[in-house]
Amino acid sequence: MDDIWTNLFSILASTVRLSTPLILAAMGGILAERSGTVDIGLEAKMLVSAFVAAAVASVSGSVWIGLLGGIAASVIFALLHGVATIHYKGDHVVSGVALNFLASGLTVVLGQAWFDMGGQTPELQGAQRFAPVHLPGVDILREHVPLLGQFYATVISGQAVLVYVAFAVVAIVHVLLMHTRLGLRIRAVGEEPNAVDTAGISVAALRYLALIGTGVLCGLAGAYLSTAQNASFSKDMSAGAGYIALAAVIFGKWRPLPVLGACLLFGFLQAMQARLQGVEIPGIGALPTQVFQALPYILTVILLAGFIGKAIAPKAIGRPYRKER
């Protein structure tokens, strides 16, 4: 019985770790899309921030300086998307896809030019990366409530600081969008920008502000990939996480709490990959590794095929706003 709980808690701990970049990117996607901007470029912002965070942390010796660098790079990409879609009223999907290609190529070229390691960054050690945070009270809980203590020690304690930040961000985004005047304006500009403009509020300014928030959150997500979940940057290390985060946004109907559930589901599937690889399935045998690696993406397609028609997006999403004269 102890082995069952140990394995279960281990899977849950992996689920939390693997869900963290999805949660952060998805919360950023909610801000952008609630304000009326389609953001296919979540992947680009995660990838460029992962590279810059690892590169700056390696050179500076500080993971916190690397984190700030990753956030700055992500915000720049978010503003590029804003200039293309808000100022020049370009196609949101084309702009996002272009940024994804730019990030994929630029990170490899710069990585090779700066470090001469085939597009990778040097391995991060010590203060160059986020270490696990061991919370107090583990021994006390284990002594008085063994099962709860084991859960606390395995799943909650021992995570990187950005894991705790991610779950705090969910609460912040929920309160911001649902219970503040700024959140009401962001939601309104994604539904009826004409009404917002009539009230004397700048539609463009609100959308840029939302995109800056998206850039910050995607910067946290990318930095987590290269400085906490891993110890360096490698080519295309986001591996489609931005697209999965966007799928979670749609599946969760642009609401923070349901989106959190979708991200945890995707993280759970990723956590199961390592557990199921090499396991003999009766009548089938051991399945190839690629089958388990494809599971999150297969689920993405299934969820989008089954729910995209039922999820009602903000009315003005993807539509350029032209002020009425």
Q: Residue 224's pLDDT is what? A: 98
Q: Residue 282's pLDDT is what? A: 65
Check: CB of residue 59 under 8 Å from CB of residue 121. Answer: no
pLDDT greater at residue 311 or residue 164 = 164
Q: Residue 119's pLDDT is what? A: 85
**Residue 5, token pair as written in the block:** 């709980």
pLDDT tops 80 at residue 285:
no
Question: pTM of this prediction?
Answer: 0.94
DSSP state of 29: H
CB-based contacts of 143, cutoff 8 Å, min separation 6: 149
Helix/strand/coil percent split, the chain, to 5: 75, 0, 25
pLDDT tops 90 at residue 261:
yes
Q: Report CA-CA distances (Å) from 298 to 198, 219, 292, 303.
A: 44, 26, 10, 9
CB-based contacts of 2, cutoff 8 Å, min separation 6: none
pLDDT tops 70 at residue 283:
no
pLDDT tops 70 at residue 286:
no
pLDDT band of residue 301 (cuts 50, 70, 90) is: confident
**Mean local confidence (pLDDT), 92-107:** 96
Tally: H helices and E strands in the chain: 13, 2
pLDDT tops 70 at residue 287:
no
pLDDT tops 60 at residue 307:
no
Question: Virtual CA dihedral for 309, 312, 315, 319, nearest 10 degrees?
Answer: -50
Domain that holds residue 255: 2-125+139-307
pLDDT digits (tens, 9 = 90+) for 149-205: 889 998 999 999 999 999 999 999 999 999 999 999 999 999 999 999 988 999 999
pLDDT greater at residue 308 or residue 57 = 57
Q: Residue 149's pLDDT is what? A: 87
The reply to whether 324 falls in a domain is: no
The reply to whether 113 falls in a domain is: yes
**Mean local confidence (pLDDT), 265-290:** 74
- Among residues 46, 11, 12, 14, the alpha carbon closest in space to that of 27 is found at 46
Residue 201 Rama label (left phi>0; alpha psi -120 to 50; beta): beta
Task: Tell me how far the alpha carbon of residue 236 is from its chain's centroid.
Answer: 15
Q: Residue 304's pLDDT is what? A: 67
Q: Report CA-CA distances (Å) from 224 to 19, 46, 132, 230.
A: 11, 9, 12, 8
CA 140, 141, 144, 149 dihedral sign is negative
pLDDT digits (tens, 9 = 90+) for 23-67: 999 999 999 999 999 999 999 999 999 999 999 999 999 999 999
The reply to whether 51 falls in a domain is: yes
pLDDT digits (tens, 9 = 90+) for 4-25: 888 889 999 999 999 999 999 9
Q: Report CA-CA distances (Å) from 179 to 36, 67, 182.
A: 19, 29, 9
- Provide the number of structural domains found in the chain: 1
Q: Report CA-CA distances (Å) from 176 to 95, 182, 303.
A: 27, 7, 27
Report the percent of the chain where pLDDT is more than 90. 69
pLDDT band of residue 79 (cuts 50, 70, 90) is: very high
Share the mean pLDDT of the chain.
90
DSSP state of 316: T
The reply to whether 246 falls in a domain is: yes
The reply to whether 174 falls in a domain is: yes
Q: Which range (75-84, 264-273, 286-295) has the least confidence?
A: 286-295
Planar angle of CA 261, 267, 270, nearest 5 degrees: 150
CATH number at residue 216: 1.10.3470
pLDDT band of residue 310 (cuts 50, 70, 90) is: low
Q: Residue 127's pLDDT is what? A: 95
Q: Residue 147's pLDDT is what? A: 87
pLDDT tops 90 at residue 105:
yes
The reply to whether 32 falls in a domain is: yes
The reply to whether 12 falls in a domain is: yes
Indicate the SS3 state at residue 323.
coil
Burial of 305 (0-12, 13-18, 19+ CB in 10 A): exposed
The reply to whether 289 falls in a domain is: yes
